[in-house]
Structure 1
Amino acid sequence: MKPFLTKLCGAFFCAFLLLGCAGQKVSQYANEKPSLDLSEYFSGTIDAYGIFTDRSGVVVKRFTVLIQANWQVIDGKKVGTLDESFEYSDGTKQKRIWKLTEVSPGKYIGKADDVVGEANGSSAGNALNWAYTLALPVDGTIYHVQFDDWMYLVTPKVMINKAQMSKFGINLGEVTLSFYKR
């Protein structure tokens, strides 16, 4: 009987671990309101306020972002440009220009100079999930880090963004942003 209980406990432990790794899916937000239309929200001027916390939760950087965004239809697809100007608490500045393309309803690809390959995005209801690799400069060295980026539309003018940053599956920290559409 003892080997049976050991195997049973092992099976429950493995199932528990697998359930813990399942994570959220964008589809679970399909009925949430207000509905996020990426080309509608990211149009015009958007202000963002953010922090980066390390894996222990300590705030390492604070920053603001001014975003100028517009969309057009090219070859029958919606294509957006998000011109982002970052200003960090230490006085440094950074620029990132995203080119976003809606490849099908609720599915997007994104490109920027410091994004390795393409970012892949999916939206449903009030949520959007991006997955991408960012070439991140740290003390003169470029590290390729993965982002699991979640955005949630709270009101027609406010969106909250939480992004987990990792390398080799190890959590490095989290970026939290609050967007305000003017």
Structure 2
Amino acid sequence: MKMIYRLLAIFLIGLLAACASPKVSDYANQKPVLDLSDYFNGTLDAYGIFTDRSGAVVKRFTVLMKCRWEVIDGKKVGTLDESFEYSDGTKQKRIWKLTEVSPGKYIGKADDVVGEAIGESAGNALNWTYTLALPVDKDIYNVQFNDWMYLVTPKVMINKAQMSKFGIYLGEVTLSFYKP
């Protein structure tokens, strides 16, 4: 009987390990190194899709980003002015204010972000977690985002963000950023 419990414990530990999320520190040695204030500086273009939980593409979109950074009270503060244009013709604007609170640690704010976004970077990766007030038809839903960005080359970054509500997976946003 003890052997069965041990095997069950090993199985459960393996199952939990398989479900573990990556940590930003897992990417600490990856190159090129992402410097947020360097990459998100100037004008960038982004191209993306939103897929629902079945993997079907629900929306396509482009983003024009105008970004700048300054030092305020000894901290790097960035403004990311995003203009979205969706495949159905709708447009949306989001202006992020990002503050580097310590090396590799960030907070972000935007009008449609509930509270603050918390970000951490290491190596070529950045992870943001936040709640977005998402308009759907005539309603607003507070949706949680687990947002990962990976610098592929000095000019290209891939962004993959999982969306959930009450812990239930809703879909993903996938973006490709290009810095001319």
Q: 1:174 aligns with which of 150, 172, 175?
A: 172
Q: Give the structure 1 partner of residue 8 of structure 2.
A: 10
Q: Give the structure 1 partner of residue 62 of structure 2.
A: 64
- State the 4+ residue runs in structure 1 displaced beyond 4 angstroms: none
Q: 1:36 aligns with which of 34, 39, 47?
A: 34
In structure 1, what residue type is equivalent to 2:55?
Answer: G
C-alpha offsets along residues 96-138 of structure 1, whole Å, 9 cap, x if unaligned? Answer: 0000000000000000000000000000011000000000111
Q: 2:49 aligns with which of 51, 62, 85?
A: 51
Give 3-state SS (helix, strand or coil) of 2:55's partner: coil
Q: Give the structure 2 partner of residue 151 of structure 1.
A: 149
C-alpha offsets along residues 137-177 of structure 1, whole Å, 9 cap, x if unaligned? Answer: 11111111110000000111100000010111111000000
The answer for unaligned runs of 5 or more in structure 1 is: none
After TM superposition, the score normalised by the length of structure 2 is 0.97
Give 3-state SS (helix, strand or coil) of 2:11's partner: helix
Alignment RMSD (CA, Å): 0.9
**Alpha-carbon distance between aligned partners in 2 of 1:102 and 1:121, rounded to the nearest angstrom:** 9
Count of matched residue pairs: 180
**Aligned residues: percent identity?**
79
Residue 113 (structure 1) aligned with residue 89 (structure 2): no
Q: 2:123 aligns with which of 122, 125, 142?
A: 125
After TM superposition, the score normalised by the length of structure 1 is 0.96
